A and B are shown apart, each in its own frame.
Chain A
Amino acid sequence: MIRRTLFAVAALMVALILICGCTGTTTDQPPAEKQQLRIATTTSLYDTKLLDHLTPIFEKQYNAEVLIVSAGTGKALEYGQRGDVDVMMVHDRAREDTFLADGYGADRRVFAYNYFVLVGPGSDPAGVANMTPEAAFTAIREKGMAGDANVIFVSRGDASGTHSKEQAIWKAAGFNYTTQIKGSGDWYREAGTGMGATLEMANEKEAYTLSDIGTYLAYKGNLDLVTIVDEGEILLNVYSAMQINQEKFPDINSTVAKDWVNFLISDDVQKEIASFGVDRYGQPLFYAAKDDWAKIGVTEAEVKDPVA
């Protein structure tokens, strides 16, 4: 009897959960007029909580629902090429240009910028504080190759925008990344993960790493890492958003994607971006691109002209 009752209860629970499961995944769809926008974003915009701050405003204004997948720029571009998202938010000019030229992307707009920083342990075992980025990288490599166990560089190693920038700095310092840096010794370690996690790893290993200033400031509370090098033209970091080309993927939700890109370059949101984080970190995590297009080397149209 007890056995039978138990069985009935179990069956009832399964049935209930089945009902919940079905309703949870089917009838709970947002009402038809609510448009879904899929964004693939670089990890720094996500880890700093900037998008968490902006999406509710957008959702209310446009009656949309924003779905964000956070991945390195490389992976985001991959999602874009496969047509799995409507909009990409990335920071790797060279690869964006290729992406646009190949016809995958359209209507790029630049909405924010900041700088990369070389962070590391306070003891600065390689003694590179306040050098130029190129000189600092060279010195870290030299000490690492010489077998100084205290000198470690943690790389994102995930084909992200930050990883691209790191490679550009190695190149500017006169090294061939694939033959002279990658796998050249125990001093150079690839994390293969997002910015936040890489900072955590560098902190754990008392190592140097290249980070965007935004993520570094957002994580600073949990870290013992300090800024080692933060000046140099090569450290400029420009964020842009673009739609996935509708000609390639006709069923991309381009209306809401266009709204999002225009939303980012609108005056109000530019103000939001410029003031984001000031109350918490005492300095902005991002600068608005709107009036600084000349400074960051992009066209005026790219920061001001709404997507038609």
Chain B
Amino acid sequence: MYEIVEGFLEAVRLIVTLDADVMGIAVRSIIISLTATILAGLIAVPLGAAIYFGTFPGRKSLINLIQTLYSLPTVVVGLLIFLLISRVGPFGFLRLLFTPTAMVIAQTVLVLPIMTGLTISALSGVDPVIRDTLRSLGATRLQFLVNVMKEARFALLAAVAIGFGRAISEVGAAILVGGNIMASSFASSTRVLTTAISLETSMGNISSSIALGIILLVIALAVNLVITTIQHR
């Protein structure tokens, strides 16, 4: 118990004094996961819309497959990306392994299914009356699409936020393709909140672990708060 209290106090000190190492790790986490979320969003929202509005054979099965991939294990994504970007892999020539870019790629792949699926759900949730109204008013295809998307914007934003929450809290892929590197320059380091927590805990630096844990928790809760605020509008 004593250890936890002491760790907690030290954690508060690290956070309040904006300890450079801790802040660097937190900022890196946010940058990497946010970049991944935005990339995934740029792919998932149009893709989800295309699937939702589209009519093609196998559409139902595709939606089912996407929903199955919600529970894509993070280490499996990590392994897959590792094999692709490792030097002997097909994209080895890009020398991406153990870089923040590799982590962005892995996290993008990781959250793509959930964001695509939630986009489809968001569009399904739009009141049919609105769709009928749009059609009866003679909206062009593009106008129809834009207006339905606009109607679903809060649910779409929630989809993006959920993707971000999944990206920033995963550790499996981050450690496999990032390698938990702490280098002298910010851009070459790949240590993020989750990988740092597992390292610090294994090294017995409980206070640093707790500090990083609190920050991760705050970020995750803030994201959740955003989602609920949006959904209660």
Contacts and interface: CB of A to CB of B under 8 A. Distances in A.
B108 interface: no
B13 to A, nearest CB: 20
A36 B188 contact: yes
Interface stretch (B53-61, B72-80, B179-187): B179-187
Given A14-B38, A67-B188, A83 B88 contact: yes
Given A25-B104, A84-B87, A67 B98 contact: yes
A181 interface: no
A69 interface: yes
B104 A196 contact: no
Interface string A33-53: 000101000000001000000
Interface residues of A, number: 37
Interface in B78-128: 86-89, 92-93, 95, 97-98, 100-101, 104
B142 interface: no
A189 B86 CA distance: 32
A219 B204 contact: yes
B38 to A, nearest CB: 6
Contacts of B157: 10
Contact of A59 (B86, B87, B101, B184): B184
Interface stretch (A16-24, A154-162, A271-279): A16-24
A56 interface: yes
B34 interface: yes
A21 B35 contact: yes
Contact of B187 (A10, A24, A47, A196): A24
Most buried by A among B92, B101, B187: B187
A25 B35 contact: yes
B34 A21 contact: yes
B183 A66 contact: yes
A245 B23 CA distance: 38
B16 interface: no
Nearest to B97: A84
A65 interface: yes
B184 A65 contact: yes
A5 B157 CA distance: 16
Nearest to B38: A18
B229 to A, nearest CB: 10
Contacts of A107: none
A21 B31 contact: yes
B86 A84 contact: yes
Contacts of B204: 196, 200, 219, 222
B1 interface: no
B38 A38 contact: no
B28 to A, nearest CB: 8
Given A59-B184, A67-B183, A83-B88, A38 B98 contact: yes
Given A20-B31, A47-B203, A65 B188 contact: yes
B202 interface: yes
A47 B101 CA distance: 26
Contacts of B100: 24-25
A68 B183 CA distance: 7
B86 A82 contact: yes
Contacts of A55: 184
A178 interface: no
B34 A84 contact: no
A138 interface: no
Contacts of B233: 3
Contacts of A84: 86-87, 97-98
A177 interface: no
Nearest to B181: A67
17 contacts: A18-B38, A21-B31, A24-B187, A25-B100, A28-B185, A38-B98, A55-B184, A67-B179, A70-B180, A83-B87, A84-B87, A194-B202, A196-B204, A197-B202, A219-B203, A249-B87, A251-B93
Interface of A: 3, 10, 14, 17-18, 20-22, 24-25, 28-30, 36, 38, 47, 55-56, 59, 65-70, 82-84, 193-194, 196-197, 200, 219, 222, 249, 251
Interface of B: 30-31, 34-35, 38, 86-89, 92-93, 95, 97-98, 100-101, 104, 157, 179-188, 202-204, 233
**In the complex, the 3 A-B pairs of residues with the closest C-beta atoms, listed nearest first:** A197-B202, A83-B87, A21-B35
